[in-house]
Amino acid sequence: MIDASSVVKSFGPRTILRGIDLRVETGETLVIIGGSGCGKSTFLKCVIGLHAPDSGVITVDGMDITKLKTEAEIANYRRRFGYLFQEGALFDSLTVAENITFGLRYLTDIPTSKYGQIASDSLALVGLKDVEDFKPSELSGGMKKRVALARAIAAQPSYILYDEPTTGLDPIMSDVINDLILDLQKQLKITSIVVTHDMRSAYKVGSRIAMFHEGRVLQVAHPDIIRITDNPYVRQFVDGLSQGPIKMKLKEFDAEESAGSRKEKA
């Protein structure tokens, strides 16, 4: 179980997360939706320990990443996670098989003689075969996402964090990736957090959906509840409308700014 409480994160003067409270139950797929820059990916990176929260606590199975001291403790924490990056983040200089088994050296005690089999098995789980010796530059966008997913599951994590898994893919390939996420959840019983702004994907893979806005959680609910929500922010986002409170606020800000600049000129 992942439990986040009052998580705040800033980069310089910009506060990205303004007190996130969120719980991800074991076995569920929590989808986080929200506009660009609302803190979805930052939250994901705080969970895995890439960013340290300024305040607040994130515990995973009772462990708080900020309190881990030794390398063994940190490795034990990271071993629980697979992370699918938005663009895959495959290592250009390594082959597909080397990419998939890269983490095994540092996260597990599995002997290197078994790496070949693990690479093939992981690729089979994401519907690929005979690509072990390819370099990432020789793969299509969809294949890169699948290989990145194979790398994320190779060390048999308990949690997978997906950062915009369908971004940049055509609708059919997006749906294939959604099916893969569901398949992996069923086969491996993995707990997942999926960050996306693709509502088709959110409705399809999510056990629950959480809406982030300006670094806060606006609503967390079952996808069927989100479909009929009367929260105007969530409603506007899920319907993909340009008119609504999110846009209105931007307009008010613009209006204030332009009024301010007119006053300065005067």
- CB 120 to another protein: min, Å: 19
Which residues are at the interface with another protein (CB under 8 A)? Answer: 45, 48-50, 75, 78-79, 81-83, 85-87, 89-92, 102-103, 105-107, 151
- CB 78 to another protein: min, Å: 5
- CB 70 to another protein: min, Å: 11
Give the residue with the Cβ less far from another protein, 48 or 209: 48
Nearest 5°: CA angle at 196, between 216 and 121?
Answer: 130
- CB 153 to another protein: min, Å: 12
Give the residue with the Cβ less far from another protein, 13 or 240: 13
Give the residue with the Cβ less far from another protein, 83 or 212: 83
Give the residue with the Cβ less far from another protein, 90 or 199: 90
Give the residue with the Cβ less far from another protein, 31 or 48: 48
- CB 49 to another protein: min, Å: 7
